[in-house]
Structures are given as structure tokens and as C-alpha cells.
Amino acid sequence: MNVNIQRHAIVVRLSHWLMALSILVLIGSGWRIYNSAPIFPFTFPEQFTLGGDVDAALARHNDPGVATAIAWHFAAMWGLLLAFLAFVLWGALSGHFRRDFLPVRPAEVWHDLIAALTFRLDHRLGHYNAVQKLLYWAALLGAGLMLLSGIAIWKPVQTYPLEALFGGFQGARIVHFLVMTGLVLFLVVHVALVILVPKTLRAMITGSATENRP
């Protein structure tokens, strides 16, 4: 018998995909912007950044695509903001967070983490294990921190002293970078797990996933 074991509300699906698209654009364009004034002793390879072909941009603008990268960044920020607010409001009001992401108990996280690292974690569709719950909270917190530190960098005068929260303007840039790194690592794990359990992808697109159960 086919049993429906995972459902995603339309708000969750739409905000998930808008967030996914926005975050990818923000990462790619952010790397190009970072390259123009690196805060650490390295830059990102051009082909992994968003902002267009450098020669084409130089021909069009006399600018190596930083202008386009910034335009992407400040377009995608609206997507992230909108999707983040929709996701958080819906999650809090519909009971999705309380039902699926809570409680997160340290002992369970420890147990599931050991199980996951030794490839013994049972992965059931529609049920979030403790590590998953913790990671979703971390990713959500990360997205919120990106928005907040991003606003501090975008409008340091109009939002002053918001930057003090991050130890100043330069501190906000560093936080923005470090949390980005965390989100990239989350994305790697997130996508790897989708590859392992492809039905979750179908659930996030169509709204439900079924499983054959005796």
C-alpha cells in the first residue's frame, strides 16, 4: 500500500525554493564582491562567482563585473528576506516548527550524530532526527544572521549602531563571511542527503512523498 508519509505546505515549498535560489545567487555574487576587497588572504576562482564574463563586463562597463555582482546581491536579498519571513512566520504560526523541529534534546543530538557518522542512522521520510532538527535551526539562524549582518554592511549609517552587534563595520563583514561559510557547509550536507533520499526532493516539489508499506 502506498502511504503518504511526508507533506510540505505550499508556503513551505515556495519559500524553500525562493530561499534556495536567493542563497545561491547571494553566494555567487557575494564571492565576486568579496574578491574586489578580500578580508582574508585568498580570493574565489572567477568561474565560481556570479557577475558575468570579466572581459565582457570590462567592455560594457569598464568594470570587472563587480557592478553586476552587486546588482545581483541587492536583488536576491529581497528574495531571501521575503522567503525567510514567510518561512519563519508560517513555521511559527502553523505549528510546523513545534511539530517537526522541536524539541531538540542534547542527548538525542549526540546519539543521532554518532549514528550518522557511523552510517547507522535510520533515515525515515517525514521524521526529523535530532541532528537534522539542530541543523535546520542552525541554518535558519544563519540565514537570519546573514540578513542582519548584511543590513549592517548595506546601511551602516541608517542602521547605526546595529554594526556594534558584530563588533563594528569590519566585524559585520567578517561575521557575514563566516556565516556564509557555515551556510555553504550546510548546503553540501543538505544536498548530499537529498541525493541519498531522493524522495524528499519530490516532496519538496510536489508537496508529498509516498512510500510502499506492507
Partner 1 sequence: MTIDRRKLLTRGLSLGSLSLLTGCDISDNDAVQGFLARVSQWNDRVQAALFNPARLAPTFAESQAVKDFRYNAWYGPDKAPRLDGGDYRLSLAGLIADKTPWTVEQLHALPQESQITRHVCVEGWSMIGKWSGTPLRTFLQRIGADTTARYVGFECADGYYEGIDMPTALHPQTIMAFRLSDEILPVRYGYPFKIRIPTKLGFKNPKFVTTIYVTNQRPKGFWPDRGYNWFSGI
- Is the CB of residue 52 less than 8 Å from the CB of residue 68? yes
What's the CA gap between 166 and 150, in Å, rounded?
11
Identify the CA nearest to 51 among candidates 29, 77, 30, 35: 29
Residues binding partner 1: number (CB under 8 A): 47
Binder of partner 1 out of 2, 118, 158, 212 (CB under 8 A)? 158
For residue 47, state whether it binds partner 1 (rule: CB under 8 A). Answer: yes
By the rule CB under 8 A, 196 interacts with partner 1: yes
Residue 168: all three cell numbers together: 563594528
Instruction: Pick from 4, 7, 9, 71 the residue near partner 1 by CB under 8 A.
Output: 71
Rounded Cα gap, residues 147 and 94, in angstroms? 23
Helices (H), ranges, 155-212: 169-196, 199-206
Among the listed residues 94, 170, 181, 206, the single contact to partner 1 using CB under 8 A: 170
Q: Report the distance separating Cα 17 and Cα 91, nearest Å.
A: 15
Stretch that binds partner 1, among 4-12, 94-102, 105-113, 158-166 (CB under 8 A): 158-166
Sole window of 31-39, 84-92, 94-102, 128-136 interacting with partner 1 (rule: CB under 8 A)? 31-39
Other Cβ atoms within 10 Å of 192 Cβ, number = 9
Report the interface residues with partner 1, using CB under 8 A. Answer: 33-34, 36-37, 39, 47, 50-53, 56-57, 60-63, 65-72, 74-75, 78, 119, 122-123, 153-158, 160-161, 169-170, 173, 191-192, 195-198
